[in-house]
Amino acid sequence: MARLDDDALSLHLEVALAGTAPRLLDELSAPDRYRRSAAVTDIARQLAERLRCFDIRYDEPALGSTGQASLFPSDLGPMG
C-alpha cells in the first residue's frame, strides 16, 4: 500500500475541518448523544469528500501465496 505524505494529508484535513460549518462543531458538544453522533457522521462525510483527491489503494496479496512476514527477514537462521 502506498503511504500518504503526512504533510499533504494534514493540510487536507486541516482545510476540511476549517471549512466545517460552525454548527457542526458546536453539535460535537451537544448534551444529546444523537446530535453528537449526527455531527460526527456529517464531519466524517466532509473529510471523506475532501480525501477523494487521494488515490488510496491496497493491493491484497493472493490468499496463501505468502507466508507470515518476518520482522528481521535477513536473520532467518536458527536461534542459539
pLDDT in tens, 52-61: 877 766 555 5
pLDDT band at 46 (very low <50, low <70, confident <90, very high): confident
Q: What is the pLDDT of residue 69?
A: 61
Whether the per-residue pLDDT at 77 is higher than 70: the answer is no
CB 17 within 8 A of CB 49: no
Could you tell me if 48 and 56 are in contact, meaning their C-beta atoms sit under 8 angstroms apart? Answer: no
Q: Which of 29-33, 46-50, 57-61 has the highest mean pLDDT?
A: 29-33
Boundaries of every domain in the chain? 6-53
Query: Residue 20: its pLDDT value, please?
Result: 86
Q: Is there a contact between 58 and 1 (Cβ–Cβ < 8 Å)?
A: yes
